[in-house]
Amino acid sequence: MKNIKKYFAQTIVFMIMLIFIFPLIWMFILSTNSQPDVSGFPPPILPGAELVENFQRLTDQIPFFINLWNSIYVGLSNTLLILFVCSFAAYGFARFSQAPGHKWFFYLVMVAIMIPPLAGIVPWFLEMSWFGWLDTHWPLIIPTAAYPFGVFWMYQFIRQAIPEEIYESATLDGASEFRVYWQIVVPLIRPGLAALATLSFLNSWQNFQMPLIVLNSTDRFTIPLALTNLTTLYGNDIPAIMLGTSLSVLPVLAAFMLITRHFISGLTSGAVKS
């Protein structure tokens, strides 16, 4: 009876997995078929033989690999900056919890989490224009480094992972605050950093609204924005769009597979507990 329940549960989980993964598989299938086949009915459910032609049209219409590099560069730069700024700020909140104004500053972080990013899009655009950062990647990297959820996430993780005794021992040994952060705290919170890195990179990779507002040059577009150039008044090149989207998903899947173990660990537990 236990085996029957086990196999039944595994079957249900497998079917749910297929439901979620089918759009991704179908995207790859459409990217290998021709435009008439994709537009016809019923739509194709098997791979076609037009992959090379679709890839040629894709690279003819947009500088795909330049746009792909832009997304990788912006995503990695923004993620690394978020990891440093958020973990360092969280370390300050966790380390100096008795400092004057600690509670009110932390309340400001909590309030910032509740404010939709698009609510401040107009002053953000004016500020980027004042800095002379329009049509550059700086607006996509620098302002989002102060990620309120990232500060809250790392604060909770540091509080669970680092006991007070470690801070006291390091202070008695004469370590500076930055050395405590860099050599003691950072190695112990790597699972939390991995989880935050995954979320930050995904947010940066799929960001469409902000690049649309600040970028004008095609060779500076990120992938989500560049793929919109395949849509015209005369129709959509669906196979080329699906191929470009499929190729743009591969770096995200590779990055997620590399840090899956740390990501899951960061979501479930701290490194050490007192």
pLDDT, tens digit, 9 for 90 and up, residues 106-158: 889 889 888 887 888 899 999 999 999 999 999 999 998 888 999 999 998 88
Under the banding of pLDDT at 50, 70 and 90, the label for residue 270 is: very low
pLDDT in tens, 174-210: 878 888 888 888 888 888 888 898 889 989 998 998 9
- pTM (predicted TM-score): 0.83
In order of start, what are the domains of the chain with their CATH numbers? 56-268 (1.10.3720.10)
When pLDDT is averaged across residues 14-43 and rounded to a whole number, the result is 84
Tokens of residue 145, six digits: 């480094």
Instruction: Give pLDDT tens digits for 52-72.
Output: 888 988 888 889 999 999 999
* Mean pLDDT across the chain: 85
pLDDT score, position 171: 80
Q: Copy the structure tokens of residue 268.
A: 């479930």
One-letter amino acid at 69 equals W
Give the integer Cα–Cα distance in Å for 191 and 199: 13
**Structure-block tokens of residue 80:** 């690394």
Are 156 and 196 a contacting pair, CB within 8 Å?
no
> What CA–CA distance (Å, rounded) separates 251 from 199?
14
- pLDDT score at 274: 42
Return the HEC string of 15-29: HHHHHHHHHHHHHHH
Q: Which pLDDT does position 267 carry in this prediction? A: 55
The answer to whether 48 and 30 are in contact (CB under 8 A) is no
